[in-house]
Amino acid sequence: MKHWQQWGCACACALTMNVAIAMAAQADEPTIIKVEGDAIEQLDSVTIKPSEQTYTPTDTAEVLKAVPGANVNKNGPMTGIAQYRGMYGTRVNVQVDGLNVAPAGPNWMDPPLSHLAPAQLDSISVIRGISPVSAGAESIGGTITTKKAHLPFASGDDVESHGNISTGYDSNNSAYTVGGQLGVSFKHDRFQVQGNFDKGQDMKAGNGLDIVPSQYQRATFGVDYGHQFSDGELNLGYGHEKVDNSGSPALPMDIIYVKGNTFSAGYKSNDDILGTKWLADIHYMDTDHLMDNYSLRKFPVMLGMGGAPMKRYATTNAKDFAYKLHAAIPMRAGTLTVGTDGWMVKHNADLFDPNNTGFLLQNYNNVTRNRYSLFSEWKSSVTDSLDVQFGVRYSRVNMNSDKVKTSGFGGMLLTQINTLSTNFNNSQLSQSDNLFDVTLQLSQRINDNLTFKIGGARKQRAPSYQERYLWSPLESTAGLADKRTYVGDVNLSPETSYNVDAGFDWKTERAYFTPRVFFKRVKNYIQGTPVTSGPAYNFRVTQGNMIRGGGFCTANPLDPFCVPLQFSNTDAEFYGADTGFGINMTDHIALDGTISYVRGKRKDITDNLYRIAPLNSVINLNYYGDNDWSATVQSMLYSKQDKVSASNSEQRSGGYSVFNLQGRYAISRNIEFSAGVNNILDRFYQDHLGGYNRVSTDVNGQASAVATGVRLPGEGRNYFIQARGSF
């Protein structure tokens, strides 16, 4: 009750302010508040178009905070990892133009959404609740899809030129961005080039002190060609991305570069071909990544070895090939969609010491994870008011790794690391998993204003390559950022989730309300469990004594620093509720927002799950002027989170409220400006989904605003201005 009283006070404060603006929009809600109306309704999606938002963040993942049930884990300025209803990372099926993409960094310094700058993005959609099998494989934690921006074909026989540009500046970290598309189009052909450049300095927290290192720099370039047939459209694309010298203070290393190339092709039929609609996509992606712990931060030292430097750098690579082919066939007052898709990925990661050329640790050596999948899905209007969607999917996941090697270790560490590598190399590295998904969803229209929805599903996910092939105690854990070292288990079983999702959509000409409740029980949930004996523990104790000095781990054998976690099969459950809502109070004033709550806990032991978003809400009070301008007061309200994971040594976090003031003005149909201030009160707060700070000073000795081992704070007051134009 105390939390809701705090929320009520915060909401009242927001409502007493006299200006406001339209923020992120929910596509499956009625268009009463100028929300986006062209989402994938048949998938019950919520769609956001960054180009239509008053403030567009550099990290694309940040826009997810406007979606019921969605949030983002942050380890650095552009490392946003999507979270949906408590699940994140490889449990969430994140797609770029309909296909999965593989981060090159084993610690997800380049998560999927980081590969798309907002200027390149047409829309981002979140499927509310249970994902249909047609949305993709291994969607145990939900599905998020993105669509790249494409310039239009010519409307007639004459050649047309089209383009758009967006630019912006943020005061907090002296950041600027510029990007856009430029192209020419004919009636049946179009050509476009696009690019984007972002750069920012260290971010300041609410106390005005720098978070180091949180600088970033990203440049992207691409070309696209489209051809319009009488019955469909073909698209071909190439993209290049380069990220340089970008901090990730919640991780052991920073980005020195991420650079990669992507080739893609896609076809979608507009009309029936032999009674069938077709959809096909394919891409190939090759990304290199270099990171280290000494270029942007002060490197750590081994106190147990007289302060010897512990400089490390790592080179990693991911090669990623994905495809899909769908066919939608009219059948028995409905549509039968059948399809196949696949995703083949290879990972390499090597760890080095710049002061010791003989040092090598093969973190991942030619690790492959190949997934092949088939599905069938039927959707029909059984009656005038009842819609049914039923689907089944089978996936085969084949994984393997080459044997690993190390060099450059000495003393007891040499014996212990050789034991770990020998045990790994002698294990059954080739593993295969068979996955079966089944979904059933019903939608019953009561009247023009009210529709009830209910669904159930069985979903599965195979282990990630980190969970299966991390053979020595390290922190390359897909961005968990919990300060713990982990080892994998090649014999892990797939996760199996049983889901129920229910709610209703109520809408009138003036208001909407779309609550959902959900429950998810997960068998063989993969979670780190303590290792207090054996080769991995012995290695970590010896290593910990060298790092901390004074025989620290020998004297404190159960200290979390000294105890690695092993990815293990456990049992877990998730439950909660989320909703979107809105009301037009007058012809000029509207209120809209979201409320989200999720609870995640272990079922095999008494413990909570790690990094679960607390109860939270986003509320926008909007004012729309008569002369193409609008303004908003936005409140972002988060409760405390004291349901934390003891297994991950997770810290509790306090509740907070942040207020933003944003305005937008359209000079003409094609030119508009927006400006405002985020975190008006310059409040110091710590987002529970932020990682823990690992950096005391940067490479120049500049101190961080927050002590090491403490959760990273959010951004302080930020004045911004952004502009968009098109022709």
Q: 580-638: per-residue pLDDT in tens?
A: 999 999 999 999 999 999 999 999 999 999 999 999 999 999 999 988 899 999 999 99
Helix, strand, coil % in the chain, rounded to nearest 5 = 10, 50, 35
Give the three-state DSSP class for 118: helix
Q: What is the pLDDT of residues 501-526, one digit of tens each?
A: 999 999 999 999 999 999 999 999 99
pLDDT at 10 exceeding the cut of 80: no
Q: Are residues 139 and 152 in the same domain?
A: no
Count: domains in the chain:
2
Q: How far apart are CA 573 and CA 130, in angstroms?
A: 15
- Looking at residue 613, what is its pLDDT? 98
- Give the pairing of strands 565-584 and 486-487: parallel
CB 101 within 8 A of CB 285: yes
Q: Are residues 224 and 113 in the same domain?
A: no
> What Cα–Cα distance (Å) separates residue 443 from each residue in 503, 512, 533?
10, 17, 53
CB 24 within 8 A of CB 67: yes
Q: Are residues 654 and 685 in the same domain?
A: yes
Q: How far apart are CA 107 and CA 95, in angstroms?
A: 19
Q: What is the pLDDT of residues 213-242, one digit of tens each?
A: 999 999 999 999 999 998 899 999 999 999
- Looking at residue 430, what is its pLDDT? 98
Q: Say what percent of the chain tops pLDDT 90.
A: 89
- Looking at residue 492, what is its pLDDT? 98
Q: Say what percent of the chain tops pLDDT 70.
A: 94
Q: Are residues 179 and 81 in the same domain?
A: no
- Looking at residue 331, what is its pLDDT? 84
Q: How far apart are CA 428 and CA 424, in angstroms?
A: 8
pLDDT at 22 exceeding the cut of 60: no
Q: Are residues 181 and 137 in the same domain?
A: no
Enumerate the H helices of 532-618 as residue ranges: 535-548, 552-555
Q: How far apart are CA 648 and CA 530, in angstroms?
A: 9
Closest among 439, 431, 479 to 460, alpha carbons compared: 439
> What Cα–Cα distance (Å) separates residue 671 from each residue in 663, 722, 727?
15, 11, 9
Compute the mean pLDDT over every residue in the chain, rounded to the nearest whole number.
92
Q: How far apart are CA 120 and CA 237, in angstroms?
A: 13
> Which of 98, 122, 147 is where one domain is finished?
147
- Looking at residue 581, what is its pLDDT? 96
pLDDT at 127 exceeding the cut of 60: yes
Q: What is the pLDDT of residues 548-571, one digit of tens each?
A: 999 999 999 999 999 999 999 999
Q: What is the mean pLDDT of residues 682-691?
A: 96
Q: What is the pLDDT of residues 33-84, one digit of tens each?
A: 333 332 223 348 899 998 888 999 999 999 999 999 999 999 999 999 999 9
Q: What is the mean pLDDT of residues 656-677?
A: 96
The CATH number given to whatever domain includes residue 132 is 2.170.130.10
Q: Are residues 225 and 329 in the same domain?
A: yes
Q: How far apart are CA 665 and CA 15, in angstroms?
A: 22
- Looking at residue 454, what is its pLDDT? 97
> What Cα–Cα distance (Å) separates residue 162 from each residue in 38, 177, 233, 667?
22, 21, 19, 19
Q: What is the pLDDT of residues 301-356, one digit of tens each?
A: 999 999 999 999 999 999 999 999 999 999 878 999 999 999 999 999 999 999 99
Q: Are residues 397 and 459 in the same domain?
A: yes
**Residues spanned by the domain of 392:** 148-726
Closest among 285, 674, 691 to 477, alpha carbons compared: 691
Q: Are residues 516 and 458 in the same domain?
A: yes
CB 707 within 8 A of CB 694: no
> Which of 129, 147, 165 is where one domain is finished?
147
| Residue 713 pLDDT grade (very low, low, confident, very high; cuts 50, 70, 90) | very high
Q: Are residues 117 and 184 in the same domain?
A: no
pLDDT at 274 exceeding the cut of 80: no
Q: How far apart are CA 313 and CA 332, in angstroms?
A: 60
> Which of 132, 147, 162 is where one domain is finished?
147
Q: Which two tokens stand for residue 511?
A: 């208001």
- Looking at residue 26, what is its pLDDT? 35
Q: Are residues 168 and 244 in the same domain?
A: yes
Q: Are residues 131 and 171 in the same domain?
A: no
Contacts of 197 (CB under 8 A, 6+ apart): 177, 178, 179, 218, 219, 220
Q: How far apart are CA 438 and CA 140, in angstroms?
A: 11
> What Cα–Cα distance (Å) separates residue 499 from each residue in 90, 127, 132, 495, 573?
18, 15, 12, 13, 10
Q: What is the largest CA-CA distance in the chain?
A: 80
- Looking at residue 50, what is its pLDDT? 85
Residue type (1 letter), 275: G
Helix (H) or strand (E) holding 12: helix 2-16
Contacts of 443 (CB under 8 A, 6+ apart): 386, 387, 388, 389, 451, 452, 453
Q: Are residues 644 and 628 in the same domain?
A: yes
The CATH number given to whatever domain includes residue 390 is 2.40.170.20
- Looking at residue 17, what is its pLDDT? 28
